[in-house]
Amino acid sequence: MASFGSIRSAVFDREEKKQQYQAHILGLNAYDRHKKFLNDYVSFYGGERQNQEKLPVKTDQDTLREGYRFIRSEEDDMDSSWEQRLVKRYYDKLFKEYCIADMSHYKTGKIGLRWRTEKEVMSGKGQFVCGNKHCSEQEGLASYEVNFSYFEAGENKQALVKLVTCERCAKKLLYRKLKEKEKETEEKRREKEEHRKKREREEMDDESGKAYDRTKGKKQSSTSRDDEDNFDEYLKGMFL
């Protein structure tokens, strides 16, 4: 039976270990933390893995949901340390946080999405490397929230997931939207241009109308001047 003193020191040790772990991971950048968590994950749970049947190579969609992940009961979790639970939470979350995209039909607006395989989760594909299946860019990545419809356990499901892409692939991802916007802008531009031309035509018609009036006015006045002249002439004739 453990004495009070030894329990207290065990609790103290555990707490100290936890604080050290926290301090260590806080000092890491996202990628190093990722590596640390996954390494720890393998060292915490890797042993059990050996007992599970070797996985056959499967298609993208099959991979995860067929239960090759470590199956742990709640009881197991109760026994595990804080660090173990933390890395397990991180590891589990990764599978349904980021996805991988097939952009081969991006021009039609069809982007295929799937969850990541374990290998991809481990290597950081789709998280620290562009999520386009055929791209391995690691620079200039941005995360996009995409609506993912998938089929799992006999059900159609939908989830908002993250797709991380490089700049070039982001253009593919947004290709249709960008095209639509371009088209819209082009239509607006053309409409504006039409409107401008129409206004110009109207103004021109208006101007020529005014010009015509002016000529008419001029003619009228000159006519009247002519009349005046004639009148002068007439008066002149009268006094002479």
Binding site for Zn ion (CB under 5 A): 130, 132, 135, 137, 166, 169
Show the tokens assigned to 83.
Answer: 């660090």
User: What is the rounded distance in angstroms from the CA atom of residue 137 to the CA atom of residue 121?
Assistant: 16
User: What is the rounded distance in angstroms from the CA atom of residue 121 to the CA atom of residue 223?
Assistant: 96
**Sign of the C-alpha dihedral computed for residues 133, 158, 145 and 182 taken in this order:** positive
Q: Angle at which helices 82-95 and 30-51 pack, to 10 degrees? A: 100
Beta bridge partner(s), residue 98: 162
Q: Say if residues 78 and 64 touch (Cβ distance below 8 Å).
A: no
| Residue that the structure tokens 């946080």 belong to | 97
Q: 3-state DSSP call for residue 132?
A: strand
Q: Which residues of 20-36 are buried (b: 16+ CB within 10 A; e: fewer)?
A: ebeeebeeeeeeeebeb
Show the tokens assigned to 213.
Answer: 């009036």
Q: CA of 62: how far to CAs of 117, 149, 152, 154, in Å?
A: 9, 15, 10, 13
Task: Rank residues 70 and 128 by Cβ distance to Zn ion and give the closer one.
Answer: 128
Amino acid at site 41: Y
Task: Rank residues 83 and 120 by Cβ distance to Zn ion and give the closer one.
Answer: 120
